[in-house]
Structures are given as C-alpha cells and as structure tokens.
Amino acid sequence: MAAQNAHQARQRLSQLTATLAPTPTESAPVVQTRATIAARMARDPGLPVLSPTLSYWQDPEHSFAHVRSTSLPKDTDVALIGSGITAVSTALHLLRLEPGLRIVILEARSAISGATGRNGGHIKASPWADYHDLKQLFGKQSGMKIIKFRMAHLDVFCREAAELGQAGQAGLVRRTKALSTSYSAKAWEGSKMRLHDFLQDFPEEVGKWEAIEDRATLRSLGLSDNAVGTVRGPEGAAWPYRFVGAVMGRLLDGGQVTLETHTPVTSISRTSSPKRPYTVHTSRGSIDAKHVVHCTNGFAAHLLPSLRGKLWPFRGQMTVQSVPKSFPRLGGERSWSTVWERGFDYVTQSPGSDGCLYWGGGLLQVPDGVDRELDLGCSNDGELSHECLNRLENAAGRAFKDGEHAQIIRKWTGIMGCTGDGLPLVDRLPEYVSGRTDCDPHVGGEWIAAGFNGFGMVNCWLSGKGLAHFITGRKEEVRSWFPIDEFACRSERLGEMTPEGSLDLFLAGLDT
C-alpha cells in the first residue's frame, strides 16, 4: 500500500508540475523568477533575526520571556531546540510519560517568539477542504488518518485549557462556527466538490458541515455581495502565545525543565560517551544530551543542511484591523476563511467588545509584474510583507458587507515551514538526514518535528505528544492515531522532494 501511495503521489506531482511549468509563450522573466524562488527555497534559512516585528499576541510578554541560567547546564536528558508549541508539547508529554527526565529548552530569541507567538490564532483543520487532495496524493487510508489527526486537535486544546483553569482562560481557547467563503465561481465549485468527497468518506460528519449558496442567507451572515457560497462548520480559535505560555509556566515551576532564551544553537556533534552521545553547541557554551530534538519548523534546515529545499521557510503577514460600529460583534464565536480566485486569507475576531479582526494572508494575490512569491523561501520576520499588506488593506471591504471602513492598526510577520509534499516531518533522524552517526536507540537519538505547512495549530500539539512516545520507546502505542508512516523521514520520501517540485505543489494548492 505504501509503495502504491508513493507511486500515486509521484504521478500527481508530475501532473501538477506539468500544469504549472512555463509554456513556450512565457517570457524569460517569468522563468527567471521561478528559478530565483526555487534557489531561495534551497538556501540556508539561518538563525531567526534578532529584531523581529512586534506581534500583537506578544504584548505584553510573559514574565519568563527572557529567562536563562547564569551558566548553561553541563548535561541533560533531552535538549529541545525551539520554544514554541511543538517543543512545549513535547516537553509536557515527555514528563507525563517519564516524570524523572531533565529537559533543557534552547531558544535563539525570547521565549515563544517564533511562529507560535506570531500566527493567526486558528485551530482550523479544514478537513473538507484538504481531504480530496490528501486522498489523491497518499491514498484513502492515509488521507483519512491525517484528517482525523488534524481534527483531534480542537478537542485536545479545549481539554488542556480546562485543566489549566484560570491560566487556560487567558489562552482564549474557544470553539467557533467557521465560514469558508468563496468569492469566485471557480473556487465555489471546487469547494462543493471537496465537501461532497469529504462527507462521502466521513459519514459521521454529515450534519456538521453545510454548503450555503442562497444569496439572502449569505447576506444574513454578513458576507458581501461578492460572496458566491460558503461552507459552514465547527472549528476553533486561540491566543497561542498565552496558551503555550501558561503550559510553559507550569513546566518551569516544576523544576525539571530549564529554559535558556537568547541561546542560539550553532551546531550539534556526536560524542564517544556511552551515556550522552550528543553535544549541543550554543552561543553560550555546550550541553551534552541523550536526545536532541529539532522543533524549529521553518528554520530546521539551518542545522540540518540535507533538508534545504525539502523543508523551507515562508513568511506570512498578519494584521489586527479595527471595524466600524455597524460590524457585528460576535464574541469570538465565528472565524472565517476568504477564498479568492487564487489564494486565501484567514480571519478570527476578538472576543472583546472592540470586535477587532485578526486578519492574515494576502499571499500571491498581489498584481502581476512584481515578485508575488517574494515571501517564499524568506526567513526574515524582521520586515513586513508590503505586497501582502497592500492586499489586506481592503480585504475586509471585499469580504464583508460592513467591512468597508476596517483599518489596519497592528501588523507583523511570522515564519512558517513548508515541506515538499505538504506533510510534516516527525521522526527519529536517520544518519542520511542528520549527517551524524546514529547512536544506540536504547541510549538516545536525534529527532525532528517540523514542517507544518502553515497549519501548526492542527499538527504541532499532537506531533509533540507522538514524538514524546517515540523518544521514550513507546512508538507502537500511538500507531492507531498518529500518522507514523506518512510523517516519517524515509529516504524515498525525502528523495522525491526538490525545490522546483515543492514550489509547483505549493502554488497548485493556492490555485483554487
């Protein structure tokens, strides 16, 4: 079955590449732009820039945002690189499985300053929208497993928030009724086809999702006359920086997790030690570890050069937009996706009385004649994406009947990580990826959980849980729900990933 799925995936990728390849009538500049983007995707993403744009979510910062020890610990059981949702989930679940572990979290900047603290706030699986392509690429069985994995996140987040009590309330984890609205006939026909395909294979979801195209109903939902149709169904939203911060705070209070901010990892080497086979080198010294875990998403290829062009960064633009008094305040109970002729935006609303919209996107919707793919392969969140901002400035007026006078009041960028086949990499790193001789699996190992393709909130938390089971030798315990084979670092899978093929697949996904 795996071989058959891989063959289907190669066929589908070939079709997409042929569809998007330059035709003989395309001009040289277009070909050059595509080559330039592919080259950008294959370069070293480097370390996160020291002065990122200021995210709305990170104001104010957590009390531990800049915490670090006077001197680094000499050794640890597990060294986690990165301090976002994946790293925190991995640490939490490791301690739930083996409470005696010692864990060090290494962060290049302030705590939770990467994508987790800069994203759009959606807990949005979009199961109906993605299932069709997943089934075509990887087969029905794998497609269903991946979708169920993503859909499980909302319930998990709600349970975790409830356990946090008051701290969880500060995280603003909530359920929403989501509207995924098409603003072109082409996009709407695709949405209806995808919804039908999804419900055929997920009959238990019938009644939870509905396609709406009646003009009066669309208007009653606050959508503009440009709306052709919308799919309504259950999703979620959160304030990830606060939620993950609440979990991090508890981990730090427990005493077994050490947080080292402003401590970028510069390299990793193998040792001859039978007890701690890895040395993690940082700007402040070195730590010997049994296990090393890469939770750096779009930056992972900096320390893992073999992944360059296979796991690459791309920059997303976020805004906070004020709305006029006429715009309905829905108490944070609704979220939106606006699906344009090409590409989409993502929107949630403040649960407060101001009704502000948290609006991100704009990618690939800017006018012809400019490098519309400038954000692809970009790892610099210290600058804004001005072309995306130009599109987002009037997006509310095009999407909502009362959105014409919305105004951008905050703006920032964040770096996501994309893989060549659209699925994360969650696995033990083999030697052909790490470049380091593997060690006895009973002693330690090098691991990765990265490449969430812009949908971290429905991949990261349970990826951390699954990885914790891998690290502690309990892999088979999660096989029933975790996409072990689909997310694995297999040589065949990685060998099929090229910057050019990855770019074609990514653009095809935005071509609705």
Beta bridge partners of 175: 236
Res 17 pLDDT > 90: no
Report whether pLDDT(14) > 70. Answer: no
CB of 421 within 8 A of CB of 394?
no
**Segment 151-175, tens digit of pLDDT:** 999 999 999 999 888 665 656 799 9
Confidence of residue 381 (pLDDT cuts 50, 70, 90): very high
Of 166 and 62, the one with more pLDDT: 62
Q: Is residue 37 part of a domain?
A: no
What are the angstrom distances between the C-alpha of 164 and each of 85, 172, 244, 283, 369? 15, 12, 11, 34, 50
Mean pLDDT of 68-80: 97
Model confidence at 1: pLDDT above 80: no
Angle between helices 85-97 and 240-254 (to 10 degrees): 40
| 3-state secondary structure (DSSP) of residue 406 | coil
Tens digit of pLDDT for each residue in 227-239?
A: 999 999 999 999 9
Give the CATH number for residue 74.
3.50.50.60
Alpha helical stretches, state H, 343-446: 386-392, 395-399, 431-434
Domain encompassing residue 107: 69-118+241-310+421-510
Residue 331 pLDDT: 87
- pLDDT tens figures, 250-274: 999 999 999 999 999 999 999 999 9
Q: How many CB atoms lie within 10 A of CB 141?
A: 12
pLDDT of residue 509: 65
| Average pLDDT over all residues of the chain | 91
pTM, entire model: 0.93
Q: With 90 as the cut, is the pLDDT of residue 69 above it?
A: yes
DSSP states along 233-266: EEEEE--HHHHHHHHHHHHHHHSSEEEE-S--EE
How far, in Å, CA of 455 to CA of 152, rounded?
14
Q: Give whole-number Cα distances, 157 to 31, 92, 189, 371, in Å.
A: 44, 14, 33, 38
Distance of alpha carbon 157 from alpha carbon 162, whole angstroms: 9
Lowest mean pLDDT of 31-40, 69-78, 150-159, 239-248, name the range: 31-40
Predicted pLDDT of residue 374: 82
Residue 385 lies in a domain: no
pLDDT at 10 exceeding the cut of 80: no
According to the model, what pLDDT value does residue 33 have? Answer: 80
29 inside domain: no
**CA torsion angle for 126, 132, 136, 142 (degrees, to 10)?**
50
pLDDT at 333 > cutoff 90? yes
Residue 315 lies inside a defined structural domain of this protein: no
310 vs 342, more confident: 310
SS3 breakdown of the chain: % helix, strand, coil, rounded to 5? 40, 20, 40
Residue 19 has pLDDT above 50, yes or no: no
Q: CA-to-CA distance for 290 and 276, rounded, in angstroms?
A: 4
pLDDT, tens digit (0-9, with 9 covering 90-100), for 268-327 = 999 999 999 999 999 999 999 999 999 999 999 999 999 999 999 999 999 999 999 999
> Is pLDDT above 50 for 26?
no
More confident residue, 9 or 399: 399
pLDDT in tens, 435-479: 999 999 999 999 999 999 999 999 999 999 999 999 999 999 999
Q: What is the pLDDT of residue 28?
A: 47
In a domain, 172, yes or no: no
The number of domains in the chain is 1
- Answer whether residue 301 is part of any domain: yes
pLDDT band at 371 (very low <50, low <70, confident <90, very high): low
What does the pLDDT read at residue 502? 87
Average pLDDT over residues 80-89: 98
Q: Strand 445-450 to strand 285-294: parallel, antiparallel, or no bridges (unpaired)? A: parallel
Report whether pLDDT(70) > 60.
yes
Tell me which of 504 and 13 has the higher pLDDT. 504
Task: Give the pLDDT of residue 365.
Answer: 67
Evaluate whether residue 333 is within a structural domain: no
434 in a structural domain: yes
pLDDT given at position 361:
95
Per-residue confidence at 368, pLDDT binned at 50, 70, 90? low
Residue 505 burial class via C-beta count within 10 angstroms: exposed 0-12, middle 13-18, buried 19 and up? buried
> Are 85 and 53 within 8 A, CB to CB?
no
